[in-house]
Amino acid sequence: MAKPSIHLSVPSPQPLRLSGLAPVVRADTRLLVLGSFPGAASLAAQQYYGHPQNAFWKIVAATWLGDALALRHAAYDERLTCLLDHGLGLWDVYASCEREGSLDAAIRAPEVNDLAGLRQRCPGLRAVAHNGGESFRHARYSASLGVPVHRLPSTSPANAGWPFERKLAAWQDVFKLYGLME
């Protein structure tokens, strides 16, 4: 007679609560780019758009320097200074969330950043641009700032449906509207 098998149920581990990055803004920031939440590579590096395949830094460099490698290989502090000097700020819609991996689709239990508090910190703010669809889902929060809100194609490598040139053109169109083009 066979012995009955015993199946133990092992609970799956709960995803860790992750905290996002601080905003990169100053009083003269004219355009704020809002992502959804930093990916694993960005969190590990403590840098916005830290994944080497993310097109954000390549777009910025192609726009302002004409040389995509120059800015992408500059020190992170230098890149942030370049953004701020051109009137561009960075932040994310979510302050924290639970997530395994880097995909927006895996975000659970998000906590939204205090976007309303940005008005005092950035009196020169003229517009908000959401980097991708997940960020744009929360456009109602950025619209409360009383400035135009734009949806830009995601710079994430997961957005392979948009070739780089098409992403670049869309981003540059918004940059031009707010005087961020040289």
Q: 141 vs 45, 98, 113, CA distance in Å?
A: 28, 21, 9
Interatomic CA distance for residues 93 and 89, integer angstroms: 13
Q: What is the largest CA-CA distance in the chain?
A: 83
CB-based contacts of 173: which residues, under 8 Å, 6+ apart?
none
- φ and ψ of 27, to 5 deg: -55, -35
> What residues act catalytically?
54
Interatomic CA distance for residues 161 and 142, integer angstroms: 26
